[in-house]
Amino acid sequence: MQTKYNLLRQHFEELFALTDDEWNFVQSHFQYKSLKKHQFLIQAGQAVDFEYWIIKGLVKAYSIDDKGKEHILQFAMEKYWVSDHCAFQHQEPGTIFVDCLEDSEFFCLSLENREKICLEVPAVANFFRIKSNYGYINLQQRILSLLTMTAESRYEYLLNKLPKLIQRVPKKLIASYLGVSRETLSRFNS
């Protein structure tokens, strides 16, 4: 288990160094969780008590529309953070589902604990500040890709950007992420 915590420490320290004391304090605010493939991390309608850092595995975050169709908001794997951020931040019932595409392990951080470690350890506040900023930048680019590119070029773009992901995820889910039907994606390209 300590090895797993060390992975998280390394993740924090990619951006800002922490003293051992700081790290021990921070670490004590996370809890471990493990799920099998097909199990839910978050379900719409329920409370979202945590933000999750993925130690190992792969999940999809998605919403389900009135016709029962699923729309993928995010794939998240090792070293990614995932949650229903909106529900988590506002401590409201969630609107999206997150489930495991592979057996997965997580470190869980509650809102209360997040605020506590951010206020206590400025390096952690700065860590989340920069991480959120990168996340924001990524979403802006995804929005631009939805506004400016055809479905086919979004697919090519994703193939280049995250080739490893494509191999771990069924194409029908890639289609859902890109906002295209499975059949249309199947008719693309190479």
Partner DNA sequence: AGCTAAAAGTGACCTAAATCACTTTTCAAA
Partner DNA sequence: TTTGAAAAGTGATTTAGGTCACTTTTAGCT
- Which residues are near DNA by CB under 7 A? 37, 69, 150-152, 170-173, 179-187
Q: Does residue 131 contact residue 77 with C-beta atoms inside 8 Å?
A: no
Residues in the chain: 190
Residue 184 engages its own copies in binding (rule: CB under 8 A): no
Q: 164 vs 7, 83, 111, 115, 160, CA distance in Å? A: 21, 22, 31, 34, 9
Shortest distance in whole angstroms from residue 71 CB to its own copies: 4
Nearer to its own copies, 39 or 137 (CB): 137
157 binds its own copies (CB under 8 A): no
Query: Is residue 181 close enough to count as binding its own copies by CB under 8 A?
Result: no
Q: Which stretch binds its own copies (CB under 8 A): 20-28, 32-40, 132-140, 165-173?
A: 132-140
| Spatial separation of the C-alpha atoms in residues 115 and 94, rounded to whole Å | 20
Q: Given candidates 126, 161, 170, 184, which one binds its own copies under the rule CB under 8 A? A: 126
Instruction: Please report, to the nearest 10 degrees, the dihedral formed by the alpha carbons of residues 160, 165, 166, 169 taken in order.
Output: -160
Query: Contact at 8 Å (CB) between 78 and 100?
Result: no
Instruction: Assess contact for 158 and 189: CB atoms under 8 A.
Output: no
Based on its alpha-carbon atoms, the radius of gyration of the chain, rounded to whole angstroms, reads 18
Q: How far is the CB of 185 from DNA (least distance, A)?
A: 7
Distance CA 10, CA 147 (A): 36
Quick check: 21 binds its own copies (CB under 8 A)? no
**Closest CB 127 distance from DNA, rounded Å:** 35
| Partner whose binding site includes residue 170, from DNA, its own copies, none (CB under 5 to 8 Å by kind) | DNA
**Nearest distance from C-beta of residue 34 to its own copies, angstroms:** 26
Binding site for its own copies (CB under 8 A): 63, 65, 71-74, 85-86, 89, 118-119, 122, 125-126, 128-129, 132-137, 139-144, 146-148, 179
